[in-house]
Amino acid sequence: MEDSSEYSQSEKAALLLLALGQEKAATILKHLGPKEVQLVGSIMASLQNITGEMMDDVLEEFITVCKSQTAVGVDSDGYIREMLTSALGSDVAGGVIDRILLGRNSKGIEQLKWMDSRAVADLIRLEHPQIITIILSLLDPDQSAEVLSLLPTNTHSDLLMRIATLDGVQPAALRELDSIMEKQLTGSDNVQASVIGGIDAAASILNYLEGSISETVLDDVTDTDAELSQKIQDKMFVFPDLINIDDRGVQVILREVSTDQLLLALRGVEDKLKEKIFNNMSKRASEMLKDDLEAAPPTKLSDVEQAQKDILGVAKKLADSGEIMLGGGGDELV
């Protein structure tokens, strides 16, 4: 690696934490969510041959960004909203902003994010469906999918439809969660309704559900409301859709994915998608992967689906951070 532009955002974060030292890094990690801690920690553990030049590059970029973006003496909420809207666009930023600003005063929801999914499911399974809907909408999509799969099967389609049709949540409704978790979630009645839930949230949760469960839930939704089901399907991003990502985006994804994951995920996919992947790897790496695919023994379908979902999760996070565009095409990012 010659300069910081060649590092992924996750690698930059890991290098920065290593440069800051154990005590300061620990302080920063306390403010991250469980998935961010796991991701950055794994990268920190895997980094090898770290040079002083690499550290200097990352620190220099970090200082430059801080100087240009840090707000001094301005309203922090307004600054966060403007910054994220400028970076992500209004459609994507809305949900992200509400998660950040609501989560800041929401110790209960933050605690749920660190809990085992089964424990969360046991905590909420007897609550009113609308309360469960709000909680599932506030959790990250992959955790929501796990929790949903652990709830009674006959509730799945109803909860997903409620998530898809959820049109914001008023502070009074958020305060109702206080009685469930005995935590303060929000403050003033003047806070605007959040934009959690909706078609995008429902599609994201379905993307993370196990294949057979996802199909069953979607079939049930179709039987109840075919138009809503189609809107959800239109927003879903599935593994074959990786073919629509531009070459640069595929290369960014591959840097974040292990060879073992890729080996599993490419089982049974169309040759056109395989070639897209191979063409964005080095010649040696692609040849080794082809040989491994040919020699690999039969694998359980559930393992293949999980590997594909893991890679889709990586792609979505990269898209949310603005590093790639899931649809491909469009204007080139600069």
Tokens of 332: 């080139």
Q: Chain centroid to CA 25: how far?
A: 23
106-121: per-residue pLDDT in tens?
456 667 777 778 888 8
Give the contacts of 115 (CB within 8 A, at least 6 positions apart).
Answer: 123
238-278: per-residue pLDDT in tens?
788 888 888 988 999 999 888 888 999 998 888 899 999 99
Between CA 253 and CA 251 the distance in angstroms is 5
Tokens of 197: 């839930």
126-178: per-residue pLDDT in tens?
888 888 888 888 888 888 888 999 999 899 999 999 988 887 766 666 666 65
Q: What are the E-state strand segments in the chain? A: none
CB 250 within 8 A of CB 224: no
Q: How far apart are the first and last CA of the chain?
A: 20
46-72: per-residue pLDDT in tens?
777 777 777 777 777 777 766 565 444
Between CA 275 and CA 281 the distance in angstroms is 10
Give the global pTM: 0.45
Between CA 324 and CA 132 the distance in angstroms is 32
pLDDT value for 115: 75
Write down the CATH number for the domain with range 105-235. 1.10.220.30
- Strand, coil or helix: what is 194? strand
Question: If you ran DSSP here, which 8-state letter would residue 153 be given?
Answer: G
Q: Is 308 exposed, middle or buried (0-12, 13-18, 19+ CB in 10 A)?
A: buried
Of 3.30.365.10, 2.40.50.140, 1.10.220.30, 1.10.540.10, the CATH number of 239-320 is: 1.10.220.30
Question: If you ran DSSP here, which 8-state letter would residue 169 be given?
Answer: B
For the chain, residues classed under CATH 1.10.220.30 are 105-235, 239-320
| Nearest Cα residue to 120 out of 135, 103, 141 | 135
Q: For the chain, where are the alpha helices, taking DSSP H only?
A: 9-20, 22-29, 34-46, 52-69, 76-88, 90-104, 107-114, 117-124, 129-138, 141-150, 156-164, 171-181, 199-208, 211-224, 226-235, 247-255, 259-265, 271-279, 283-295, 301-320
